[in-house]
Structure 1
Amino acid sequence: MKNTILLTLILFGAMLTRAQLKTRSYIIDPQLAPREHNVDFQHLRLELSFLPAQGLVKGKATHIFTPLRPRVDSIWLDAIRIRFSSVKVNGKDAKFKVSKDSSGYWIFCPQSLAWETKDSMSIMYECNPRRGLYFIGWNDPDNLSRKQIWSQGQGIDNRNWIPMYDEMNDKMTTEMIVKFEKGYKVLSNGTKLSSKEKDGMITWHYKMKHPHAPYLIMLGIGVYDILQTKSKTGVPMYLYYYPEWKDRVEITYKYSEMMMDWFEKEIGIPYPWESYSQIPVQDFMFGAMENTTATLFGDFFLVDDRSFNDRNYVGVNAHELAHQWFGDYVTARSDAHHWLQESFATYYNQMFEREVFGMDYFNWARRTAQVNSIEESKKNKLPVAHSESGSVRHYPKGAFVLNMLKNVLGGREVYNKCIKHYLQQHPYGNVDTEDLLVACEEVTGMELDWFFEEWVYKGGEPAYSVTYKEVNGLTEIIVMQVQELSEVTGLPVQSSVPGNSVSTADFIGLPGESVYRPAGLWKMPIWFEVHYTDGTVDKKLQWIEMQTEVVKIANPSGKKIDYILFDPNNEVMKSVSFAKSWDMLRSQALKAASMLDRFDAVAAMKDIPVRQKRDVLLQVFEKESFHAVKVEIIAQLAADDDDKTIALFKKACSDKETLVRRAVIE
């Protein structure tokens, strides 16, 4: 009996101890770890010819590599439905075996290979790729299509036409030798070493100086002319175009040289490759692809002056150029860190667009990111740093997070210093999210684990409920975090009152519960502004990190409040509920410095009767310069038949902004 009681007490104690352990919880990512491989591929020489009408590739791939194990007897190559005819390892015939699913081959070395040696492997092969390399127009019976061959390797499609280890965690230098009929241009990665004609065929030879990831290997073949230019720092730039569309070149590639100069200055690292080319192709399935030194993009961006207003290449152009640093120069070690490529490219293309289109354009991109991110979180709470998070989180949400990181670090100068250090620490290498965190901490000495924890490694966004009251010469702004608490969002909490303060502890204990559960609060520095009718303003920056906080702003002279802003200019990603009076909305719509704050005030008028808001909206429209606010006003007045509204619609039909004119028509 005593033994039974003792055993029961021991088990109970163990269970209680386990229940109170502090842990961190994350959503499992199947792509967190990089793929295993037993050799380091260092160089690929690819020799190719084609039978385009048959969609046939004839190739010879020669790999130079070094074993990563003390003994290597066999090597795996990704090669989907590629037909090998022979393989040699170090010049000797090697046996090979295709996998049951035709996804690749095992190569059996004639002799065991040892580490710290340099070895070679040559494969003769043919293939008819269904993905990765595309033959466009060669079997068009009406001869209306352009005739092209082009590649799209991301994520792992180059293995459909190149036998290789096709993963981003092993980089190599590459060269490509392509034999093709005269009359066509051929583009690949790196420097064009030669183009030699013989018997109606031209052999093109391209070679990279620095290593890059396999998915970035590219090929583009078609009928093109080339505009050669260069940046102020001398980077050679080759802008491909269709000969009959020469009049579209200037508008399509607008700002290209300026872009290169701006990126080099902003990032602080010179363009890391030998040259930069851009080539349009027909029937491309995406917008563009940042192949190293050679971006390929859909020819729907090759526009004329008129079409430029509806769809232009500027943002995409900047995005792909940014990738030459973020994605090509430093590459994610695994798909779990894909955001390090797309979020950075998105953020830097947004910043460049700010240079040419203005601050309102930049801020509206951030607002759009916020709206889309909140909608995405209704589906799941996947974080930015997760392979399955999707485009909304990898592109615009991650870009918004980087802008918040910049603010937390202290602004542009210190942020740029951190990013420069991050890049310099990993030239032509692989990175993960921790590398970015470490770089920022090394430069600033700041402890930033909390920021990465809530915004990168965990999902969701904060939701705030804001109210205010005037008490004894004070304006008290009450902020409550009202998002659902979750173990995979925000930060943990610990307090005598559940959910009332953030700390470094990992769990919160709830009254009446014998176990602990995580919570999901955010902490962020947020600005508060109280604007008065006399034109003055009081501002206060305060960290909001408790579930309920009261921000006190002194108003000893009792000035009349005109309007109040919580997080002016929407610097923190969030949803907000802040009920404001009609007078406050009117003043904010007419007077707020930030377009986003003016927009929010107008949007909040949606359910107010037209007769009450008409004159204010008309007044705002006359003062406003940005399309988003004007479009919102048009939507709210769409059913109004007042003469003044009709006059505004007529005027809007000739507005300089296409989106405003379109809103009137629709």
Structure 2
Amino acid sequence: MGYLLFLYSCITWAQTLPKVDFIALNATVLPNFEKKDVNGHCHFVFKVNAPTDTIRIDAKAMRFSGILINGKAVEYKNNGKELLLYTGFKKGKNQLDFDYYAQPKQALYYIGTAQNYQIWTQGQGRYTSHWLPSFDDVNEKLTFSISVTTLENEEATRTSLTAISNGELVQKETFRAIQAGKIYTTWNYQMKKPMASYLVMLAIGEFVFQTHHSATGIPLERYIQPKDATKMDYTYMHSDRIFDFLEKEIGVKYPWKIYRQVPVRDFLYAGMENTTSTIFDQDFVVDSIANNDRNYVNVNAHELAHHWFGDLITAKSGKHHWLQEGFATYYALLAEKEIFGDDYFYQQLYSYANRIKVAAKSDTIPVMNEKASSLSFYQKGALALHYLRDQIGKRAFDKTVKAYLKHYQYTNVETADFLAFVRKYADFDTETFQKTWLESAAYPEKEINACLQKSAFIQELIALQKDRSKPLRDKLDQFRQLLQSQKFWPLKSEVIYQLKNEPFEESEPLYRLALQQGDIKVVKTVSELLTKVPASFQAEYEQLLSVASYEVRANAFLNLLHSFPEEKERYFEIVKDWQGANDKEVRILVLTAYLNAMPETAPLYSIYKNELIGYTGPDYESVTRIPAFQNALTSFPEDVQLLKNLVNATHHPKWQMVKYGRDMIRKYVKTEKYRILFNQILPDLSPEEQAELKRLMQS
């Protein structure tokens, strides 16, 4: 454990000290995009508390040199997974220095091309020890100071690279290597409090940023790619409010000196709560229109909440993972409640409950199990906390959480630690709670229903859903009043759902009313369910083509195109400049629709074909490439560039992209025609791509 744990163990409780206690790591790292490798130097400070014959540091597939303990060269063993040290250390404080080299297969990712690349990390579940000698055991906490050196690309006209890591930026220095004439910049980041190794991060790329400050003075840095600078405000909407709310609601001051957020391309998850420096997926970078389809608010709040639940205190093992994900999910939902209101809050709880109820029919693994599903760790864990808060009251719950965090700060915890504080501040049967919510995979229907029934909105929604079998004529007045009311949109969307199979001549006035009211969520429901547009409703439906939602626009365009094919040229003229959100989904839809509906002699056919195939290339993210592949391969499966891009996809960091590429190649090479085509492109591929293609052709 880290040094602060040693202090706390002396002060607050009796705990056996580890034989070896790592206190700090100062590391210098130089990732190289072209070679996809990293060179570095590590300076560890550790304390030997009791005799031991071996000191172990996790290090996957690394090479080492210059290993010194307390300034003297020592023997070591490198077994490919760990660096093992046998001599040179003494009881008490020691210092360890060495250089290392790694070519990581995971945890450190190189995205894009040499002219426009990003480098970023994902340590949780991937192990930081693939790129930085560290500790896979989450119970080994230490302070990290990382110096990142970047090499500027002098050939391209570009914004200078920015390197981001954990903690405060204490120094930035740019220098030119005398012999090579290359320009390097070193960014020195320092942490002052201990954390687990999986929370160490790097993010390198072209970024601009803004700095805000919380109500308590914490610097809040928000990064974005230069091309997305105009999307900064929409992407980070409500961020200040989320930070101030969580700090107040949790009752413990934000435990670090700075907080920054950075979106990266092709990130493996929605977000990751690296201490002081959250990474999140580029998909959440939105403009004013895309903001109505999806937003970063929940992920934003979730990753920030982890800075208390996961970073400040960390679960001792996977069995207690809900202490991180359940808490982060619940506090994120409380932050959304602050922003979007009580009805939204209960709608989300209702959604969680329905998903858990369905999953419980086949999922036999309870929350307190390291193999539990994400649904159990996150949503069921959050519902358990809501039930607990509902039972003991907000005041007792807040006192419990505050005391629990303060007592175990910078250390590791398990479920019993939290429940002990519940018993301290409330007369509550934690044993039954643990058995019902955490140790049983059954759906606690009685307890959940009792919580949900406290919402008048949920009561009304359930009552409305029970009326689905009633004749429309018996519900017309009720539906009309609902659609004209100020009630929360799911009630109105339920009305639209119940119109789906009704004769249009009877439901048309209600559809018109729904569109007139202009609630984007309700209008989206109309665009999803009313797919065959009657001629009498064409003019009103065409208004959806200009609604402030890319999803609504896309649905409306396809529905109109299919309903009125004779007017396809007019519709293609309307949508010819559509781009949509960052994922290019809308643009791909427009291109594909045109290529499917128009002859090859059409004016834009060859232009649109090349554009669609271009989106399958490495300059674009997987969320763009996969749908582009799916559409392009249907129409142009023999295109040489398309096949090259398909092979390139097999070396992508996202498993979904890799799987898609491999599956499609395996499918095509079963046919002799495609085996010939793939053999023809072999000389144009990189050595790694050649090896992978040959392997797939032989499998």
Q: Do they fold alike, i.e. is TM over 0.5?
A: yes
**CA offsets 1:281-324 (integer angstroms, 9 cap, x no match):** 11112111110000111111111111100011111111111111
Deviation at 1:635, TM superposition (A): 1.3
Aligned to 1:399: 382
1:622-641 per-residue CA deviation (whole Å, 9 max, x = no partner) reads 33622222222211111212
Structure with greater helix percent: 2
1:326-379 per-position Cα deviation (integer Å, ceiling 9, x unaligned) = 111111111111111111111111111111111111111101110111122112
Per-residue deviation, 1:279: 0.8
Cα distance in structure 2, aligned partners of 1:234 and 1:320:
20
Closer, same or farther: CA 112–196 of 1 in aligned 2, 3 Å: closer
* Structure 2 equivalent of residue 98 of structure 1: 78
Matches within 5 A, 1:636-655: 636-641=498-503, 643=505, 645-655=507-517
The equivalent residue for 2:57 is 77
CA, structure 1 residues 216+620, in 2 after alignment: closer, same or farther (shift >3 Å)? same
8 Å CA contact 1:73–1:111 kept in 2: the answer is no
The residue identity in structure 1 corresponding to 2:450 is D
Counterpart position of 1:122: 97
CA distance in structure 2 between the partners assigned to 1:627 and 1:94 by the alignment: 68
Distance 1:209 1:242, change over 3 A: same
Residue 301 of structure 2 corresponds to which residue in structure 1? 318
Segments of structure 1 that go 5 or more residues without pairing to the other structure are: 1-35, 465-523, 527-565, 572-592
Work out the CA distance in 1 between the residues paired with 2:356 and 2:368. Answer: 14
Letter in 1 for 2:29: L
How far apart are the structure 1 equivalents of 2:18 and 2:405? Answer: 25
Q: Which residue number in structure 2 is paired with residue 416 of structure 1?
A: 398
Name 2:452's counterpart in structure 1.
Answer: 569
Contact 2:483/2:514 (<8 A) preserved: no
Native 8 Å contact 2:306 2:328 kept in 1: yes
Rate the CA distance shift 1:281–1:654 in 2: closer, same or farther, 3 A: farther
Cα displacement string for residues 404-446 of structure 1 (whole angstroms, at most 9, x for unaligned residues): 000111x222211111011111111111111110111112354
**Matched AA of 2:441:** G
In the alignment, the residues of structure 2 paired with residue 647 and residue 614 of structure 1 have an alpha-carbon distance, to the nearest angstrom, of 10
In structure 1, C-alpha distance between the alignment counterparts of 2:261 and 2:83, rounded to whole Å: 36
Separation in structure 2 between the aligned mates of residue 253 and residue 400 of structure 1, nearest angstrom: 27
Note closer, same or farther for the CA distance 1:297–1:108 as it changes in structure 2 (3 Å cut): same
User: Are the structure 2 counterparts of residues 57 and 609 from structure 1 closer, same or farther at C-alpha, using a change threshold of 3 Å?
Assistant: same
Change (3 A) 1:156 1:285: closer
1:148 to 95, 110, 118: 118
The 1-side partners of 2:139 and 2:453 are apart by: 37
Change (3 A) 1:385 1:420: same
Mapped partners of 2:171, 2:433: distance in 1: 50
Return the offset for 1:165.
Answer: 1.7
**Structure 1 pair 252–285 and aligned structure 2 pair: CA distance change class (3 A):** same
Q: Is the 8 A contact 1:74 1:106 kept in 2?
A: no
> Is the CA contact (8 Å cut-off) linking 2:39 and 2:100 kept in structure 1?
yes
Matched, 1:434 2:404: no
**Pairs aligned (count):** 499
| C-alpha distance 360-49 of structure 1, shift in aligned 2 (>3 A) | same
Please give the residue correspondences for 1:121-270 in structure 2 after superposition, counting only pairs within 5 Å. 121-139=96-114, 143=115, 146-182=116-152, 183-199=160-176, 200-270=183-253
User: What whole-Å deviation, never above 9, does each CA across 1:600-633 have from its counterpart, x for those lacking one?
Assistant: 1111122333344444334444336222222222
Q: CA deviation at 1:51?
A: 2.1
Moved over 4 A (4+): none
SS class of match (2:53): strand
Query: Residues 555-594 of structure 1: CA distance to partner in whole angstroms, max 9, x if unpaired?
Result: xxxxxxxxxxx737346xxxxxxxxxxxxxxxxxxxxx71
Q: Match for residue 62 of structure 1? A: 43
CA offset at residue 654 of structure 1?
A: 4.6
SS at match of 2:338: helix
Partners of 2:236 and 2:504 in 1: CA distance: 45
Secondary structure of the corresponding residue to residue 120 of structure 1:
strand
Following superposition, the deviation at residue 239 of structure 1 comes to: 0.8
Residues in 2 aligned to 1:193 and 1:463: alpha-carbon distance in whole angstroms:
53
Alignment of 1:362 with 2:333, yes or no, is: no
Contact 1:154 1:215 in 2 (8 A): yes
Q: 1:648 to 1:375 in 2, by over 3 A?
A: same
Give the Cα–Cα distance (whole angstroms) in 2 for the partners of residues 642 and 51 of structure 1. 62
| Aligned equivalents of 2:505, 2:488: Cα separation in 1 | 24
Distance between the aligned counterparts of 1:298 and 1:45, measured in 2? 28
Taking structure 1 as the reference length, the TM-score comes to 0.72
Larger Rg: 1
**2:292 and 2:235 mapped to 1: Cα distance?**
11
Aligned to 1:574: none
Letter in 2 for 1:129: P
CA deviation vs aligned residue, 1:525-562 (integer Å, no higher than 9, x gap): x9xxxxxxxxxxxxxxxxxxxxxxxxxxxxxxxxxxxx
Deviations 1:84-121 (A, max 9, x none): 2342222222333333xx3x12423224644xx11222
The residue identity in structure 2 corresponding to 1:301 is F
Instruction: For residues 194-220 of structure 1, give each alpha carbon's deviation from its aligned partner in whole angstroms, at most 9, with x where no partner exists.
Output: 001111221111000100111000111
8 Å CA contact retained: 2:27, 2:42: yes
Cross-structure match for 2:613? none
Distance in structure 2 (CA, Å) of the matches to 1:446 and 1:274? 36
Cα distance in 2 for residues equivalent to 1:416 and 1:321: 18
For residues 246 and 604 of structure 1, the distance between their equivalents in structure 2, rounded to whole angstroms, comes to: 47
Q: CA deviation at 1:254?
A: 1.3
Q: 1:641 to 1:210 in 2, by over 3 A?
A: same
Q: Which amino acid aligns with 1:276?
A: Y
Contact 1:90 1:119 in 2 (8 A): yes
Q: Structure 2 matches for 1:310-349, cutoff 5 A?
A: 310-349=293-332
Deviation at 1:155, TM superposition (A): 2.2
Displacement after TM superposition at 1:642 (Å) = 5.5
Alpha-carbon distance in structure 1 between the residues aligned to 2:151 and 2:517: 51
Letter in 1 for 2:378: Y
What is the correspondence of 1:444-463 to structure 2 with a 5 Å cutoff?
A: 444-463=426-445
CA-based RMSD of the aligned residues comes to 2.0
| 2:407 aligned to which of 403, 419, 425 | 425
Q: Is the 8 A contact 1:272 1:329 kept in 2?
A: yes
| Stretch of structure 1 that moved more, 620-629 or 39-48 | 620-629
CA distance in 2, matches of 1:282, 1:334: 30
The amino acid that maps onto 2:464 is: V
Match in the other structure for 1:49: 30
Query: 1:601 aligns to what?
Result: 463
Structure 2 gap segments, 5+ residues each: 1-16, 153-159, 177-182, 529-699
8 Å Cα contact 1:568/1:597 also seen in 2: no
Tell me the equivalent position of 2:367.
Answer: 384
Aligned equivalents of 1:594 and 1:154: distance in 2?
40
Q: In 1, are the aligned partners of 2:57 and 2:134 still within 8 Å (CA)?
A: yes
Secondary structure of residue in 1 paired with 2:141: coil
The separation in 2 between residues aligned to 1:239 and 1:655, in whole angstroms, is: 35
| C-alpha deviation, 1:237, in angstroms | 1.0
CA distance in 2, matches of 1:317, 1:253: 8
Q: Name the stretch that deviates more: 443-452 or 421-430.
A: 443-452
Find the aligned partners of 2:457 and 2:377 in 1 and give their Cα distance.
26
